Chains A and B, each alone.
Chain A
Amino acid sequence: TQLLEQSPQFLSIQEGENLTVYCNSSSVFSSLQWYRQEPGEGPVLLVTVVTGGEVKKLKRLTFQFGDARKDSSLHITAAQPGDTGLYPCLGNAGNMLTFGGGTRLMVKP
């Protein structure tokens, strides 16, 4: 069973601050997805990274896949209260999709 460790588990920041959250594993993934989940809803796919070293931007969000495809990071610039939610990552290795526990982000106005 592959394990995905996400850090930090909880993060509370003020509106306008920048933050980075991490998704780490000892396993190599063919692809890795980041999701955002709001209370009472299902996870919504934000981005998929496939190539080692890949960087993808989605407005204020920047996603990076590690060169060895074992880890990934999500950076949010100028966080807004609407960014509040759970951010789980999902690694794809063979026939297994492995979820990290997620980082629970709260952005205070």
Chain B
Amino acid sequence: DTGVSQNPRHKITKRGQNVTFRCDPISEHNRLYWYRQTLGQGPEFLTYFQNEAQLEKSRLLSDRFSAERPKGSFSTLEIQRTEQGDSAMYLCASSPLGDYGYTFGSGTRLTVV
């Protein structure tokens, strides 16, 4: 197992386009998390899944954002009608049940031009 994998590593898109990111967690991890990090800031929580159930969503996750984890394995984060303010690093993390530590991926850096 090579840890949490995120694809793509970088994405440049034009304002108004839709983008989708993928996260493959560590295989035995039940929980999966999405965070967003803007330049010079700490990561901010977006949402988390336990298996395929989305159990918590931040107010940051506007109607243009949607996350899925259809079979309780990989997850996708889609942003519709991107805006320049969506430019950020999108981080995925996973953890097993009952464990306090997350393992983060290397992130997807989104630039909206």
Say if A and B assemble together: no
Residues of A within 8 A of B (CB): none
Residues of B within 8 A of A (CB): none
